[in-house]
């Protein structure tokens, strides 16, 4: 029995993204991405702290870039060579953390 996450097929990925405000699929990176904007650096940092705690718990870590009030996030599951339910779960939580 494998515990490795399975890559979502095109239909499942599109369905999941349809329920995730602001997230888009990057065909070249085989990843989903979104840019979050906050009132200031402190809010952006608080968001990243919450996401980091969840990432550690899930053992699934985003690629991200932060400048002042903006956090750019890319999610993919490298072991599966694409987007899995782990990425969708993390993206859903990030939207919730951002109040979306």
Q: Provide the pairing of β-strand 24-26 with 31-37.
A: antiparallel
How many other C-beta atoms lie within 10 A of the C-beta of residue 51?
21
Q: Longest C-alpha distance within the chain, in Å? A: 46
What average pLDDT does range 47-75 have in this prediction? Answer: 96
Indicate whether 2 pLDDT > 60: no
CATH 3.30.1360.20 fits 29-97, yes or no: yes
What average pLDDT does range 48-72 have in this prediction? Answer: 96
CA angle 27, 73, 17 (to 5 degrees): 55
What pLDDT score was predicted for residue 4?
73
Indicate whether 74 pLDDT > 70: yes
What average pLDDT does range 80-100 have in this prediction? Answer: 94
> From CA 58, how far away is CA 70, in angstroms rounded?
24
Domain map of the chain by residue range?
Answer: 29-97
Indicate whether 79 pLDDT > 90: no
């Amino acid at each position: 029995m494998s515990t490795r996450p399975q890559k979502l097929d095109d239909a499942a990925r599109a369905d999941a993204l349809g329920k995730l405000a602001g997230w888009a699929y990057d065909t070249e990176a085989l990843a989903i991405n979104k840019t979050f904007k906050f009132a200031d650096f402190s809010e952006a940092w608080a968001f990243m702290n919450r996401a980091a705690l969840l990432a550690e718990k899930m053992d699934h870590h985003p690629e991200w870039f932060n400048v002042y009030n903006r956090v750019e996030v890319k999610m993919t599951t490298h072991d599966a060579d694409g987007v899995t339910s782990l990425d969708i779960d993390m993206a859903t939580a990030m939207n919730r953390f951002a109040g979306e």
